[in-house]
């Protein structure tokens, strides 16, 4: 099974201020925004996501988004090897997801686009 680290999800309490910081200070372009709670910025090969507690998988933590073909198998592997499942696997509006901690307590989100 292949895994691709595609996104780093950062916490913010003020999405507008965070977007301004990353676009004006760091020169990243805004790829997508969902209201006042989520934005994705072009960080080159990795997307930098900014999320408030409404949309953040583990608020207050840095979480790495990893694309995989089999979210369920990835979550089982994490649990079998000393990590923990926080939420999932589950389907949201766009993708199958599982929110997990690795064996050292780092947050990961495994995701796979839904074929709809």
In contact, 72 and 98? CB cutoff 8 Å: yes
Of 23, 24, 41, which is closest to residue 32 (Cα–Cα)? 41
Question: Can you give the pTM of this predicted structure?
Answer: 0.88
Query: Kind of pairing, strands 63-68 and 46-51?
Result: unpaired
pLDDT tens, the chain, 116 aa long: 789 999 999 999 999 999 999 999 999 999 999 999 999 999 999 999 999 999 999 999 999 999 999 999 999 999 999 999 999 999 988 899 999 999 999 999 999 999 86
Neighbours of 113 (CB within 10 A): 9
Nearest 5°: CA angle at 30, between 29 and 33?
175
Measured distance CA(103)–CA(114) in Å, rounded: 28
């Amino acid at each position: 099974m292949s895994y691709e680290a595609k996104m780093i999800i950062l916490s913010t309490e003020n999405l507008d201020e965070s977007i301004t910081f990353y676009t004006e200070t760091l020169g990243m372009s805004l790829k997508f925004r969902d209201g006042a709670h989520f934005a994705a910025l072009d960080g080159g090969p990795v997307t930098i996501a900014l999320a408030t507690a409404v949309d953040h998988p583990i608020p207050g933590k840095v979480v790495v988004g990893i694309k995989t073909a089999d979210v369920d198998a990835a979550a089982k592997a994490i649990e079998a090897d000393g990590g923990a499942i926080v939420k999932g696997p589950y389907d949201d509006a766009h993708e199958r997801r599982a929110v997990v901690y690795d064996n050292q307590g780092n947050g990961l989100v495994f995701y796979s686009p839904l074929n709809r």
